[in-house]
Structure formats: C-alpha cells, structure tokens
Amino acid sequence: MNVFKTVPVDVIQIHEVSAVDLFIRQEDRLVLFLPKGAVFTRDHLVDLNRFAISRVYIRSDEALNFEEYVHVHMDKIITDPTIPSRIKAATFYLSSIHALRKAFEDPDAEEIEEIKKTLKPMFRNIFENKVLLEDLFSITEHDFSTYTHSVNVGIYATALAIQFYKGDSSVGMDFLERLSYGFFLHDIGKSKVPVGILRKQGPLTDEEWTIMKKHPEWGYTILMETGHLTDEAAYISLQHHERPTGTGYPAGMTDIHPCARICTIADIFDALTASRPYKRAMKPFEAIDFIGREACTDFDKRLMQSFIKMLGPQPESSAL
C-alpha cells in the first residue's frame, strides 16, 4: 500500500522536470496531477493557485528523490533576491532535511562539510531577515522524525541565539554561524543508535534508554573527530541533555556550556510540540509554560524571556 506525504508547492521549480509523481486530493482520493519526468509549467502553478492548493502529495518512498531535487536548486533559490521569503524558507527546510539525512547515514567529514555549505547561506538570511525566520517557524513539521526534529531544533536554537546575543558587541555573526552548525547537528550521535530504537512507536524500555542516552557522547566524538566544526558545536552535542540540577545525562553535570542550554530549550520545545503515537502534542503556550517552570537559573530565565520574545508577539504567550 502506498504511503503519501505532503510537500509545499512553493519549492517546485517552473520549467524544470519533476523528479517524482505529484498528486492532489480530490474529495476523498488522491489523483495524479503531474507525472515524474514531466515539466512543471506556469500553467500548472496557476491551476494549483486557482484552487488554493499550497501542498501536493508525493509517495513516501520517493521523498529522497524530491529532497535531492530541492537540494540541487537551493543555491539558485536562496541567492535570488526576487524570490519570496516563503519559497526560500521552504527550500531551505527540505534541503536541510536532505543534508542531515545523508550526514546521519554516514557522519564523516565530507557530509559534515556539506551540512555547513547547506546552512551557511540560510544562516545569513536568518540573521538579516526576520520575515524569513517567521516563514521558517510557520512551516516546521512536528512529526518528530530524527531529521525534521534536528532541523526544527536548529532553526529555533539559531534564532534564539541571535535574539539572546543581540546587542552584545562581543558576539559576532561568525561566532553565531558556527554555533548554528552545532545546533543542527546536536543529535548526530543518534546515527549510532539502532534503527529499531529510533523508530519505536512507543516508550522505550530501560535497556533501550540506556543505549539512547549514549547518543550525546557519540555525537561529541563524531564532531571532534571530523575536525570541521568548533569545540562549541561538539559541546552542544555532548551537553544538550544535561540539566543545571545535575539530573540530566550523560554525565549529570551542573556546569553546562551556555550554548548547550540554548539548544536544550529549543530541543525540549520541539519535542513537546511534536505529535507522537503515544503522546499528544502540546500547544506552544503549554510548552513554553512547562519549560519556564523548569528554568532554575538566572541564565535560563533570561533565555526563556528571549525565547518568548522570539516566538511572539502571540496572545497565548503574552501572559507569560
């Protein structure tokens, strides 16, 4: 039986050959809109816009082909000043998922370097363009797959770091860019976790948790061995599950790198707002309230204030 997923129409390039079959929903069934190998024309886009169709369906087993298609066109899209922010955001999102998927499959120096090439132009856009950041927030998917979660955390944490250090002349754009690589790769250690544990549809057993809790150390080792990132990126991977109370893992430390704490807030927020088979997704207000109650240091409280400001203004969060 075919399983389908949706993708944004915005990333489909006019006058380019489609890499996959594209489907649209008509009443209670999916019908083929454009076959693989056919050229997507402006008339196709007009037809989709006429019926207010912003997302089309592709077969899940063709997701990699579609991600590769988007990745190939990313540089052209992101560097074109005439292309709307929402299209750049959607392109970056899918391209980042593609690059992270490849890095998780083979976390060597070459793939880590490819991550940097993918993220660099978009970081510059995020740093300079608040509209683009809002578009990224609006398209984040919350299915909690390893790859979408990593991209979501990378976006939230990068935006939080920019917001938190805004006005601090000692923190430059180059430093924040290097941190961004670490945020997107914070879970790279999961590349060594057995697939059966990563994709389990229910709560993990004690034995499985013992294995899962090793991923921060594995991530630290991977990032240090590749030699393509700064020490801060490796510490983000190592410490993003540590807590100031000493109740975290893998070491139960209380002296945690500030950049890891930034990643922690983004990580928890995305985990709480993601849908899982065994847990309902929290609304953003609930998640912020939950994290805020766990903020036990002055630094964490200042981070939370920046996080709320970054996500706002929203009626739900204003009460905080």
Quote the tokens at residue 148.
Answer: 């979408």
Angle at 66 between CA 61 and CA 68, to 5 degrees: 115
Is residue 158 situated within a structural domain? yes
Residue 111's pLDDT band, with cuts at 50, 70 and 90, is: confident
Is residue 75 situated within a structural domain? no
The torsion angles phi and psi of 17, rounded to 5 degrees, stand at -75, 135
Q: Mean pLDDT over residues 84-88, rounded?
A: 87
Is residue 68 situated within a structural domain? no
Q: Mean pLDDT over residues 231-256, rounded?
A: 94
Residues 125 and 246 reside in one and the same domain? yes
* 306: containing domain: 84-318
Residues 223 and 276 reside in one and the same domain? yes
Is residue 285 situated within a structural domain? yes
Tell me which of 190, 214, 279, 309 is the catalytic residue.
Answer: 190
Would you say residue 319 has pLDDT above 70? no
Residues 181 and 51 reside in one and the same domain? no
Would you say residue 315 has pLDDT above 50? no
Quote the tokens at residue 27.
Answer: 């009443």
Residues 102 and 56 reside in one and the same domain? no
Active site residue 192: no
Work out whether strand 22-26 and strand 16-17 pair parallel, antiparallel, or are unpaired: unpaired
Which pLDDT does position 320 carry in this prediction? 36
Residues 53 and 175 reside in one and the same domain? no
**Whether 68 contacts 95, CB under 8 Å:** no
The CATH number given to whatever domain includes residue 113 is 1.10.3210.10
Residues 3 and 52 reside in one and the same domain? yes
User: How many domains in the chain?
Assistant: 2
Which pLDDT does position 313 carry in this prediction? 52
Report the predicted TM-score, pTM, of the whole model to 2 decimal places.
Answer: 0.86
Is residue 44 situated within a structural domain? yes
Average the pLDDT over each of 40-54, 114-128, 187-201 and give the range with the smallest value: 114-128
Given 10, 27, 62, which residue is the final one in a domain?
62
Is residue 74 situated within a structural domain? no
Quote the tokens at residue 318.
Answer: 């204003």
**Residue 164 burial class via C-beta count within 10 angstroms: exposed 0-12, middle 13-18, buried 19 and up:** buried
Which pLDDT does position 1 carry in this prediction? 62
